[in-house]
Amino acid sequence: MHKNHCEQSCLARSLCALIVAMIVLGCATGNATSQDMSPTEQPTSAPAPSSAPASSAPEGQSGTWMLLFADEFDGAALDSSRWVTCYWWDTGGCTNKGNQELEWYQPENVIVGDGMLTLRALDKPIAAPDGETYPYTSGMVTSGRVVADTATPARFVFQYGYVEMRARVPRGKGLWPAFWLLPANHSSKPEIDVMEILGSDPSTVHMTIHYLDENGGRDNSGESWTGPDFSEGWHTFAVDWRPDAVIWYVDGVERYRYTDAQHISHTPMYLLANLAVGGDWPGSPDAGTPFPSDFVVDYIRVWRQALELALAPTADTYVDSSAPASNMGAGSVLYSDNNPVKVSYLTFDLSSATGLAITGARLRVSTTSDPSAGAGSTHYVQLAGDLAWDEKSLTYANRPNMTLTELGALTNAASNSTYDIPLNLSLLQPYAGGQVTLVIDTPSEDGLYLYSRESDNHPPRLILTIDCCRGLLPVVLSP
């Protein structure tokens, strides 16, 4: 929305080069997901309309994503822990006088039911506490505050991310649905308009960034894209807000990109969705404008793309109780068994993860093609108590002790299959920046055969999920 109530100077900085450097060091995105005791699969999306976060990524996007915020509007009422129903100047309702709008926003015009959020505009005059009479009421939600005091926690604010809404907009002159972002410090600029559509032209979506120029004057850049009639069905509208770019998407397809980093917001922002009525831009409703009119939202989600650091073992081997003095060396297969006892050791160097914000970890292993390679029993991933072992001299007799602390487990493994074993990050985190030895063993006589690092077939990997912004850039997530 075009807003006029206060100003802010932008802080210009970009860490794109640093993120690129991380990728060069070995971070790579992919579609693999952490799955407990089941072969890796590609994520699938449920058919629309949705009732839960069925996808592991925003529409049209690939790679690994973290869901920072989501409301599927599945309840019977608006979730007050996530949303308020007015701007921060709420006085028993609110409006945006800077745009000469004609509505007075009211909580009762915000309706949740049947898995949807409805922002309803009514031809209903109201005498407002500001002394004015407004000819219309309407609904809005924000994840900000309803008070001017910025020391009061907002419902949800964030810094950088992929913001996505699935919605159906109304048709009619004077109707003005919008989905947008504003700074959490209550300044009006920079502002990112994910989408604005005028009810008199429901086939055109407007995508805009508003900012202060070098002289403190108000300026903006944007693009209007004409597509289908957005009032006739469901569509997704999204923005990927990055330190060095803001990218707009409609139905998963990029439609506009802005790359002047000095004008991009680098401070936390909050979400807004509203159905304005009238104003300088859309004009007043006419006799053909239907009331009530609804701006209907299926979901609102905020994602952040993660990077994956896939680490190969620097050493791996196994020991065998039936040959306690024998070194098994660097073979192509690792074993886990209890008759005889066979235990596998894998060392990983985590120095490349120093200083990064690790948000997840999993051990990827692959069973061999041997028909006996699988195991219905449970095999455990634990920590070695001693890192001072050598692949060329390790034996059952001199093997390191295990901590008996379970990091993860694999059950019902089939032969010739690949598995991601989620690991307890809190137990692994202390080893970031150094080395760690993982141990695979079992109390069962149902043995497991795994490919080792020396194998050309699916060698093991320790996969760390890295928040590409947290740890590098400050992030504020309100409780």
**Tokens, residue 236:** 């997704």
Tell me, yes or no, whether 301 and 334 share the same domain. Answer: no
Counted domains in the chain: 2
| Within a domain: 28 | no
Report d(CA 450, CA 369) in Å as an integer: 9
| Within a domain: 374 | yes
Tell me, yes or no, whether 291 and 169 share the same domain. Answer: yes
Tell me, yes or no, whether 252 and 298 share the same domain. Answer: yes
The last residue of a domain, from among 272, 305, 338: 305
Tell me, yes or no, whether 71 and 181 share the same domain. Answer: yes
**Tokens, residue 92:** 């028993």
375: CATH: 2.60.120
Three-class HEC string of the chain: CCCCCCCCCCCCCCCHHHHHHHHHCCEECCCCCCCCCCECCCCCCCCCCCCCCCCCCCCCCCCEEEEEEEECCCCCCCCCCCCECCCCCCCCCECCHHHCCCEEECHHHEEEECCEEEEEEECCCEECCCCCEECEEECEEECCCCCCCCCCCCCCCECCEEEEEEEECCCCCCEEEEEEEEECCCCCCCEEEEEECCCCCCCEEEEEEEEECCCCCEEEEEEEEECCCCCCCCEEEEEEECCCCEEEEECCEEEEEECCHHHCCCCCEEEEEEEEECCCCCCCCCCCCCCCEEEEEEEEEEEEEEEEEEECCCEEEEEECCCCCCCCCCCCEEEEEECCEEEEEEEEECHHHCCCCEEEEEEEEEECCCCCCCEEEEEEEEEECCCCCCCCCCCCCCCCCEEEEEEEEEEEECCCCEEEEECCHHHHHHHCCCEEEEEEECCCCCCEEEECCCCCCCCCEEEEEEECCECCECCCCCC
| Within a domain: 2 | no
| Within a domain: 33 | no
Phi, psi of 128 (to 5 degrees): -90, 160
Tell me, yes or no, whether 112 and 173 share the same domain. Answer: yes
**Which residues does residue 464 pair with via DSSP β-bridges, in sequence order?**
309, 361
292: CATH: 2.60.120.200
Tell me, yes or no, whether 288 and 333 share the same domain. Answer: no
How many Cα neighbours within 13 Å face the side chain of 391? 17
**Tokens, residue 405:** 């602390």
The last residue of a domain, from among 305, 337, 363: 305
| Within a domain: 27 | no
Tell me, yes or no, whether 130 and 197 share the same domain. Answer: yes
Task: Find the catalytic residue in 7, 191, 254, 308.
Answer: 191
Tell me, yes or no, whether 280 and 153 share the same domain. Answer: yes
**Which residues does residue 112 pair with via DSSP β-bridges, in sequence order?**
117
Tell me, yes or no, whether 341 and 223 share the same domain. Answer: no
Burial of 292 (0-12, 13-18, 19+ CB in 10 A): middle
**Tokens, residue 205:** 């979506």
Tell me, yes or no, whether 61 and 204 share the same domain. Answer: yes
Across the chain, which has 479 residues, the per-10-residue mean pLDDT values are 38 32 31 29 30 71 90 97 97 95 98 98 97 98 96 95 98 98 95 98 98 90 98 98 96 97 94 98 98 98 90 96 94 94 96 87 95 92 90 94 89 95 94 94 93 92 81 36
How many Cα neighbours within 13 Å face the side chain of 332? 7
Report d(CA 270, CA 154) in Å as an integer: 8
| Within a domain: 24 | no
Please calculate the CA angle 304-310-314 and round it to the nearest 5 degrees: 155
From residue 209, give the alpha-carbon distance in Å to each of 124, 143, 196, 289, 317: 33, 19, 12, 29, 56
Tell me, yes or no, whether 56 and 177 share the same domain. Answer: yes
The last residue of a domain, from among 252, 278, 305: 305
Please calculate the CA angle 327-329-333 and round it to the nearest 5 degrees: 120
Residue 371 confidence (pLDDT): 93
67: nearest Cα among 362, 426, 464, 465: 465
Amino acid in position 139:
G
Residue 469 confidence (pLDDT): 60
Report d(CA 295, CA 197) in Å as an integer: 11
| Within a domain: 3 | no
- Dihedral of the alpha carbons of 304, 69, 160, 56, in degrees to the nearest 10: 20
Residue 405 confidence (pLDDT): 83
| Within a domain: 39 | no
Tell me, yes or no, whether 213 and 194 share the same domain. Answer: yes
**Tokens, residue 26:** 């070995």
CB neighbourhood size of 166 (10 A): 22
CB neighbourhood size of 55 (10 A): 18
Task: Find the catalytic residue in 41, 196, 254, 454.
Answer: 196
Burial of 24 (0-12, 13-18, 19+ CB in 10 A): exposed
Active site includes 191? yes
Active site includes 308? no
- What domain range includes position 356? 313-459
With the C-alpha atoms ordered 18, 23, 27, 33, is the resulting torsion angle positive or negative? Answer: positive
